[in-house]
Amino acid sequence: MGAAGGAELFVVSETGKLRVYVNVPQNYVPSVPPGTQATISVPEHPDKTYTGTVEASAQAVNPSSGTTLMQIIVDNSAGEMMPGDYASIHLQIAAAANVLSVPSSALIFDAKGLSIATVGADDHVLLKPVSIGRDLGAIVELASGLRPNDRVIQNRPTDSAMVPRCALRAAGDRL
């Protein structure tokens, strides 16, 4: 029994295992179930990484940030990390099956929306409307619009008036 109004004499903390909290963007939450592995690095040990496991999710999206809070448990039995440390987290999520990826330079934004120029079976240019599933910077994963056998034109002229109105030929074809 403690006396009322007394100050704490000490605080007991167990630092052998640490809880790391990370906000995961809403569109990635389904890819981060409990058990997902994480790699953690902290500034005071730049050449070392630690592993952890996603233990729990808040199961709610924060409306101001569009993220869900996830809890990762990290073994800190060596005592190298301290409670309150800042860390970089890399979640090891599996790539989605049957997802087509294209260079972001292949995307065409115009008044009709988002599309990609492809070379059709008749060797003519065909614009196909697409939607993005995930933007990874130089590469985008498409949610819809292309088939696996479509031939994508990576870099096309930015002005559609500059696109030649002729059939494309294979390199070995004679004119």
Q: What is the pTM of this model?
A: 0.55
Domains of the chain are: 17-91 (2.40.30.170), 100-162 (2.40.420.20)
Per-residue pLDDT reduced to its tens digit, 115-131? 999 998 898 899 999 99
Per-residue pLDDT reduced to its tens digit, 131-167? 988 788 888 888 889 998 999 998 765 555 444 444 4
At 27 the pLDDT is 81
Q: Report d(CA 157, CA 106) in Å as an integer.
A: 11
Q: What long-range pairs does 154-162 form, CB within 8 A, spacing at least 24?
A: 154/102, 154/103, 154/105, 154/106, 155/105, 155/106, 156/106, 156/108, 156/117, 160/110
